[in-house]
Amino acid sequence: MIGYHPSNEVRGSHSTSLKNIKIVLGVTSGVAIYKAVDVARELIRRDADVHVVMSPEATKLVSPQLFEWATGNEVYVEFHGESGHVALSRICNSMIIAPATANTIAKIASGIADTSVSLTALNFMGLGKPLLLVPSMHLAMYRSPQITEALSKLKSYGVRVLEPIIEGARAKLPDVDDIVLGAEAITLRGSDLKGIKILITAGPTREFLDPVRFITNASSGRMGVAIAREAFFRNADVTLIHGPIDGSLVPKYVRTLKVTTTSEMFEAVINELRSNDYDAIILAGAPSDFRFREVSKDKIDSRKDAITLTLEPTPKISEGIRKMFDGLLVGFAAETVGGDIKALRDRALRKLTDRGFNVIVANDVMREDIGFASEYDEVLILGSDGFEKYVGKARKEIIAREILDIVKKLLGF
């Protein structure tokens, strides 16, 4: 069938966040080149139109035909006097180079345009369009003064760099999901949060009965992590304080502090406020509201017939914040209202007022298809100024973007 391509089978299957967006993917000859195919496909799953440019050396590792299959578009390896690089930089919204080798980084920093990748990148820079570099190379080369200087120079030009993951003697390409989320945020929002300092909490806390038993809740931390990642990629200065969550969720490129109990989360937040000037605090964490009044130092004998336990309230983090912080405070309200939007609004409004929030994000955790353990949510966002916005079922990274858009507006950026 004319016009059909296999790439259409996955187009928009993740989301339509990049619908009508055209992205150039620059591919150079690093050993992590195989991940670039996955990057292209994941961008398409977000409905992007992906155009690949490859350095001649990259084609020795992976055939351009593979990228043509993956994207459905012609792959550019060499420009023979035609204006292909000009056209791509004009019609496309952003460019990502993954992997970005030391050779390519040095060339772009020095203005050398002898490959299709460096030539196209220079055109994007000249037009002031977003350019994201994702370096991958031996660690010694990555830390060489020449590459350090080149990356610093490119950053001063407004180029964004997603730092590699350091493992052993390698500076490795980050996870594909991180690369794609970075590309998405930079393409859609650029560096619009630059200069904003944000503190975010995420995940549950645990309150122990004895060394092995505790009470907690079903929070996965995905929402707070999504906000932290989105804010970071939009160039905010981010600190994430998180409870016990899956380590694979924690972004390695964001400054993080790990806690276990509600009191520890409370103290971590207060200590941050004592030592840093934050513009906004987003309490996406779900700390336990109660703890055991008496805690056993030893494991309680399971052969006992019955145990009487007394619970007491844990410190309210928002109350502690408001005693020393008069900036923008965003809270979350996880409610069990069985789909009753009016009840959700009423409960959220009470918390908005009682806790001193400027904004509150409420959701119904009785639904199994959204909420705590899900990658999706559906929220009602309310502001102390009467603002109200309902966000239907969407992936949490999409909701994170909506929340940060509101934060940006309220901060006057």
Q: Is the pLDDT of residue 3 over 90?
A: no
Which pLDDT score, from 0 to 100, does residue 383 have? 97
Burial 65-85 (b: 16+ CB within 10 A, else e): eebeebbbbebbbebeeeebb
**pLDDT per position as a tens digit, 217-253:** 999 999 999 999 999 999 999 999 999 999 999 999 9
**pLDDT per position as a tens digit, 96-107:** 999 999 999 999
pTM: 0.94
**pLDDT per position as a tens digit, 352-367:** 999 999 999 999 988 8
**pLDDT per position as a tens digit, 172-183:** 999 999 999 999
Residue range 263-277: mean pLDDT, rounded: 97
Same topology for domains 11-189 and 197-297+306-411, yes or no?
yes
For domain 11-189, the CATH superfamily is Flavin prenyltransferase-like (3.40.50.1950)
β-pair partners for 27: 54
Tell me the residue type at 149. Answer: E
Q: Domain ranges in the chain? A: 11-189, 197-297+306-411
**pLDDT per position as a tens digit, 139-165:** 999 999 999 999 999 999 999 999 999
293 or 12, greater pLDDT: 293
Which pLDDT score, from 0 to 100, does residue 94 have? 98
Residue range 271-280: mean pLDDT, rounded: 97
For the chain, give the mean pLDDT.
94
Q: Residues with Cβ < 8 Å from 406, sequence gap 6 or more?
A: 359, 381, 383, 387, 389
Which pLDDT score, from 0 to 100, does residue 2 have? 54
pLDDT category of residue 306 using cuts at 50, 70 and 90: confident
Name the class of domain 197-297+306-411.
alpha beta
Q: Is the pLDDT of residue 1 over 50?
A: no
- Output the DSSP codes for 179-240: HHHHHHHHHHHTTTTTT-EEEEEESB--EESSSS-EE-----SHHHHHHHHHHHHTT-EEEE
